[in-house]
């Protein structure tokens, strides 16, 4: 340990006393951290220094920011109007994560105050409002293991040069060039291995270069990427340097092992043998001490084994689970029933969040990690399809996106399946649309953000992930709101579970009346375009503040989409907007949403846009077509739809109802399930 004692140099020296030279080259500054134990470094948010001296930017918590700064600002410009001087930084980092993780960034910023920055894909640097704003005066180099369409990320393992925005000015797949033959080798950012980075800026040529390499490789001559961008128009006169990071999921770690920086000189280089080591990842090895103690301990325990067996048998029955051989491969995603039982205090009614078409949802807190979870308890006794379903659950658990409710894992017991999700404290969107439970009505800006978020989540499911995932049950009550009121899609794949049970002749259609695409009645096949249809209805629902099937006082029903279409044809489109907004909205956004809703819920699947196009419309990159294909036959098709679907199982229009009408909804849900079989 003593040998690893890190040192911090602050060289502050005047090169030459000649004024002219001094003006041209400025003063030199440098510092180096070889490990961070007992060092002067400013920490913020989740950032901490571990006992072994690693700078841990995220401390394993979920959706928190962490920042670390060199304590004092550095004079990047010699004068307030002078150009930004050359600088160079070098650091060693390691990312540990069992899942794809949001990354971290090296940055230069005018202040240490990042209190308004958001976590997850905003990397703790920006938020919805200021992303892209010149006033940020922030330069950053991001290391990102998630492909975020919102920021036009190139892939899920890239190094990006960011100026005032998370949409990188330029980005490069992580890797390095061999000095001898120039061949390119990939590097995996979230590999649990330490790797080196150099960022250099030349004030005379305005060239920014980023170089990465595995540990022990000398700095490659050819940088990973290099751009010309004059930072004189970006940085403030005095600026802070540091690291920022934001974890999406539990137990992601972004470690910095060592860091050096030089202004007007190269960054001091490390002796890498002096750096703290990355902690081991995965299950702990058995220690020597344990190997000696274990036999003794087991001898002692033989005495008490009689009582223990009795207790164990009792307990075994209580926490009995169903496990089969094929589940071995899904081990890490399986929760023990015992943990879930304790988390929800034995599935007590006071922890019941709601009851829906597929089962009851309980709130809980995991015993060890103290993570808040929502557990969905689904009764299911069909063996058939269970393996495929679990495989799908596990693969869905690997999906990670800000607009998707994270599925953490599952558990099985006789006749029951438990799905474990991240807990969403703000509940489902429909409550806010229809003003239930005294929730405030969402403003237009919040609604539009939710629409964009869900579009982005759905685009990820359909087009960005390694395989196409069809959600099958998009609706306001399946959209949950996180602490920042972002919309997140929940309840994946459940529809699928009931599909598997069906025999070959009759394909069962699962979904919610009012959101089902007409072609589902004939083909029964859920596709991305049937999701787009439901998304369209969802957009109309959010914009109009009305359920997909409107019912007037005398009990007559109209389809919301027909009603909006009528307004569109009469040229009174804005009359369809939710009156509760009291005309407080952006006219352009509202009419975009209504037109998009109509286009997506077009009765002919071919006329609907793909989610990628939907994103382009929403981001204003492509104008929405004004001459939409005629929608006239809709009424007829919806009539067919209503008749065709009556005998199928449906989840309920409000899949999470509130506690007071729980028993009522549950009876309805049960009869729907049994009636469907």
Ligand X SMILES: *[C@@H]1O[C@H](CO)[C@@H](O)[C@H](O)[C@H]1NC(C)=O
Residue 423 CB, nearest approach to ligand X (Å) = 17
Instruction: Give the residue, chosen from 12, 71, 290, 294, that forms a contact with ligand X under the rule CB under 6 A.
Output: 71
Phi, psi of 481, deg, nearest 5:
-110, 130
CA angle at 32 for the pair 27 and 36, rounded to the nearest 5°: 145
Nearer to ligand X, 143 or 341 (CB): 143
Tell me the pairing of strands 175-177 and 184-186: antiparallel
Kindly indicate which of the ranges 59-67, 141-149, 417-425, 533-541 contains the residues binding ligand X, using the contact rule CB under 6 A. 59-67
Instruction: Give the residue, chosen from 4, 8, 74, 83, that forms a contact with ligand X under the rule CB under 6 A.
Output: 83
Residue at token pair 């990670």: 400
Instruction: Give the residue, chosen from 34, 61, 351, 530, that forms a contact with ligand X under the rule CB under 6 A.
Output: 61
Instruction: Give the residue, chosen from 12, 113, 128, 506, that forms a contact with ligand X under the rule CB under 6 A.
Output: 113
Residue 231 CB, nearest approach to ligand X (Å) = 8
Binding residues for ATP: 376
Catalytic residue among 56, 153, 430, 473: 473
> Hey, what long-range contacts does 346-350 have (CB within 8 A, 24 or more apart)?
347/375, 347/377
Residue 205 CB, nearest approach to ligand X (Å) = 6
DSSP sequence for 227-273: EE--GGGTS-SEEEEEEEEE--STT-EEEEEEEEEEESSPPPPP-GG
Whether the Cβ atoms of residue 36 and residue 55 lie closer than 8 Å to each other: yes
What DSSP designation does 589 have? H
Instruction: Give the residue, chosen from 230, 322, 382, 616, that forms a contact with ligand X under the rule CB under 6 A.
Output: 230
Nearer to ligand X, 40 or 483 (CB): 40
Residue 370 CB, nearest approach to ligand X (Å) = 9
Task: Name every residue whose Cβ is closer than 8 Å to that of residue 152 and which is 6 or more positions away in sequence.
Answer: 167, 168
Residue 3 CB, nearest approach to ligand X (Å) = 23
Kindly indicate which of the ranges 113-121, 278-286, 434-442, 484-492 contains the residues binding ligand X, using the contact rule CB under 6 A. 113-121
Cα separation, 551 vs 91, in Å, equals 63
Name the burial class of residue 619, with classes exposed (0-12), middle (13-18) and buried (19+) by CB atoms within 10 angstroms of its CB.
middle
127 binds ligand X (CB under 6 A): no
Query: Tokens representing 273?
Result: 């043998």
Cα separation, 319 vs 337, in Å, equals 6
Nearer to ligand X, 64 or 396 (CB): 64
Nearer to ligand X, 75 or 173 (CB): 173
Burial profile 387-408: b = 16 or more Cβ within 10 angstroms, e = fewer: eebbebbbbbbebbbbbbbbbb
Instruction: Give the residue, chosen from 17, 116, 129, 554, that forms a contact with ligand X under the rule CB under 6 A.
Output: 116
Kindly indicate which of the ranges 55-63, 138-146, 510-518, 571-579 contains the residues binding ligand X, using the contact rule CB under 6 A. 55-63
Residue 333 CB, nearest approach to ligand X (Å) = 22
User: Which secondary-structure segment (H or E) carries 596?
Assistant: helix 587-600
Cα separation, 559 vs 549, in Å, equals 5
Residue at token pair 């960034």: 105
Instruction: Give the residue, chosen from 128, 152, 205, 483, that forms a contact with ligand X under the rule CB under 6 A.
Output: 205
Residue 120 CB, nearest approach to ligand X (Å) = 15
Nearer to ligand X, 233 or 572 (CB): 233
395 binds ligand X (CB under 6 A): no
Cα separation, 431 vs 425, in Å, equals 13
Nearer to ligand X, 164 or 530 (CB): 164
| Torsion, Cα of 628, 629, 635, 639 (10° steps) | -120
Active site residue 578: no
Instruction: Give the residue, chosen from 29, 32, 35, 45, that forms a contact with ligand X under the rule CB under 6 A.
Output: 45
Nearer to ligand X, 155 or 575 (CB): 155
Of 1-40, binders to ligand X (CB under 6 A) are 40
Query: Tokens representing 353?
Result: 């969040």
User: Which secondary-structure segment (H or E) carries 355?
Assistant: strand 352-356
Binding residues: 376
115 binds ligand X (CB under 6 A): yes
Instruction: Give the residue, chosen from 39, 59, 98, 619, that forms a contact with ligand X under the rule CB under 6 A.
Output: 59
CA angle at 199 for the pair 193 and 202, rounded to the nearest 5°: 165
Instruction: Give the residue, chosen from 39, 167, 209, 232, that forms a contact with ligand X under the rule CB under 6 A.
Output: 232
Residue 66 CB, nearest approach to ligand X (Å) = 7
Nearer to ligand X, 113 or 379 (CB): 113
Active-site residue set: 473
By the criterion CB under 6 A, which residues form the site for ligand X?
A: 40, 45-46, 59-61, 64, 71-72, 83, 113, 115-116, 173, 186, 205-206, 230, 232-233
């Amino acid at each position: 340990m003593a040998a690893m004692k890190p040192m911090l140099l602050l060289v502050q020296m005047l090169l030459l006393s000649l004024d002219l030279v001094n003006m041209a080259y400025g003063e030199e500054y440098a510092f180096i951290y070889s490990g961070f134990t007992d060092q002067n470094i400013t920490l913020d948010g989740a950032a901490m220094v571990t006992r072994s001296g690693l700078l841990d930017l995220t401390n394993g918590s979920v959706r928190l920011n962490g920042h670390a700064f060199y304590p004092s600002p550095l004079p990047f410009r010699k004068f307030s109007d002078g150009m930004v001087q050359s600088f160079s930084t070098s650091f060693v980092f390691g990312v540990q994560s069992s899942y794809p993780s949001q990354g971290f960034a090296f940055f230069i910023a005018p202040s240490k105050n990042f209190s308004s920055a958001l976590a997850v894909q905003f990397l703790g640097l920006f938020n919805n409002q200021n992303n892209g704003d010149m006033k940020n005066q922030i330069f950053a180099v991001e290391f990102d293991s998630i492909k975020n369409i919102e920021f036009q990320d190139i892939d899920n393992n890239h190094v990006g040069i960011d100026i005032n925005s998370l949409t990188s000015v330029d980005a490069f797949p992580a890797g390095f060039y061999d000095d001898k033959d120039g061949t390119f080798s990939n590097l995996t950012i979230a590999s649990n291995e330490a790797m080196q980075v150099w960022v250099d800026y030349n004030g005379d040529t305005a060239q920014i270069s980023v170089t990465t390499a595995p540990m022990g490789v000398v700095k490659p001559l050819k940088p990973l990427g290099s751009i010309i961008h004059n930072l004189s128009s970006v940085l403030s006169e005095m600026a802070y340097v540091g690291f920022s990071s934001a974890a999406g999921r539990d137990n992601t770690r972004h470690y910095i092992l060592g860091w050096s920086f030089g202004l007007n000189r190269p960054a001091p280089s490390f002796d890498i043998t002096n750096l703290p080591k990355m902690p081991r990842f995965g299950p702990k090895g058995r220690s020597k001490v344990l190997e000696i103690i274990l036999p003794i301990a087991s001898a002692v325990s033989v005495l008490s084994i009689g009582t223990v067996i009795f207790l164990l048998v009792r307990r075994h029955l209580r926490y009995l689970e169903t496990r089969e051989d094929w589940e071995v491969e899904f081990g890490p995603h399986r929760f023990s029933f015992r943990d879930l039982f304790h988390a929800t205090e034995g599935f007590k009614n006071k922890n019941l969040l709601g009851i829906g078409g597929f089962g009851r949802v309980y709130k809980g807190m995991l015993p060890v990690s103290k993570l808040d979870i929502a557990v969905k308890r689904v009764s299911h006794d069909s063996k058939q399809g269970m393996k495929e379903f679990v495989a799908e659950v596990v693969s869905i658990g690997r999906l990670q996106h800000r607009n998707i409710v994270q599925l953490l894992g599952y558990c099985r017991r006789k006749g029951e399946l438990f799905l474990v999700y991240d807990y969403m404290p703000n509940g489902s969107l429909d409550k806010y649309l229809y003003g239930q439970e005294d929730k405030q009505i969402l403003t237009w800006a919040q609604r539009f953000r939710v629409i964009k978020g869900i579009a982005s989540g759905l685009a990820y499911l359909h087009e960005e992930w390694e395989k196409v995932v069809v959600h099958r049950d998009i609706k306001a009550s399946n959209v949950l709101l996180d602490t920042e009121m972002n919309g997140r899609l929940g309840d994946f794949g459940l529809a699928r579970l009931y599909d598997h049970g069906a025999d070959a002749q009759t394909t069962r259609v699962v979904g919610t009346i009012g959101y089902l695409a007409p072609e589902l009645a004939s083909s029964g096949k859920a596709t991305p375009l049937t999701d787009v249809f439901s998304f369209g209805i969802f957009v109309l629902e959010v914009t109009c503040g009305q359920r997909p099937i409107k019912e007037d006082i005398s009990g007559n029903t109209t389809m919301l989409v027909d009603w909006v279409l009528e307004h569109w044809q009469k040229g009174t489109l804005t009359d369809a907007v939710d009156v509760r907004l009291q005309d407080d909205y952006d006219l352009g956004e509202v009419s975009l949403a209504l037109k998009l809703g109509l286009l997506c819920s077009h009765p002919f699947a071919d006329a609907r846009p793909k989610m990628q196009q939907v994103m382009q419309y929403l981001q204003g990159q492509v104008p929405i077509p004004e001459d939409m294909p005629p929608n006239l036959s809709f009424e007829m098709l919806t009539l067919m739809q209503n008749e065709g679907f009556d005998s199928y199982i449906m989840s309920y229009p409000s899949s999470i109802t509130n506690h007071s009408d729980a028993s009522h909804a549950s009876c309805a849900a049960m009869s729907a399930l049994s009636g469907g079989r």
